[in-house]
Amino acid sequence: MSFHPVPETHTGTSFGQRAQARVAVAVARPLLLLPPARLGRLLRRVARGARPAGHDRALRARRAVTTVSAVCAGREGCLPRSVATALLCRARGEWPTWCVGVRSAPPFGAHAWVEADGRLVGEELPQGYFQVLIGVSPGAGKRGRS
């Protein structure tokens, strides 16, 4: 029997980073069953006391998540990808801004993503492309986009 490793999406992700990312993906999975507003409230609690995640660190977390999960790496994986990325950042004491929203211009499309340093993380789209409906910022304790 020969061993064929699963190809990784991103090179340079260490074994430890992949292990942490797998845990974040596993923890995120049941949270995805919550209604969006309830998920936002829960993530607001998780974000309390966290330092803001820098863009580069949030991008590394996102890449680690997409390396270990085909669902998160997929086109339709924005919600699990964004939640797992935020949780992985939180495990490191940081939090990006977690967002759920819609496209600003037609056609309508819902999306979930993270932002750091005021920029979209890992999204090849211009700032302002999405309108935020639910946002959870670092150290959030208030309602809405904090």
Q: What does the alpha-carbon distance between residue 51 and residue 137 come to, in Å, rounded to a whole number?
A: 10
Give, as one character, the DSSP assignment of residue 129.
Answer: S
Strand partners, 114: 98
**130-136 and 97-103 as β-strands: parallel, antiparallel, unpaired?**
antiparallel
Q: pLDDT per position in the chain (146 positions), as tens? A: 332 333 334 557 788 899 999 999 999 999 999 998 999 999 999 999 999 999 999 999 999 999 999 999 998 999 999 999 999 999 999 999 999 999 988 888 999 999 999 999 999 888 889 999 999 999 765 444 44
Q: Which two tokens stand for residue 143?
A: 């309602």
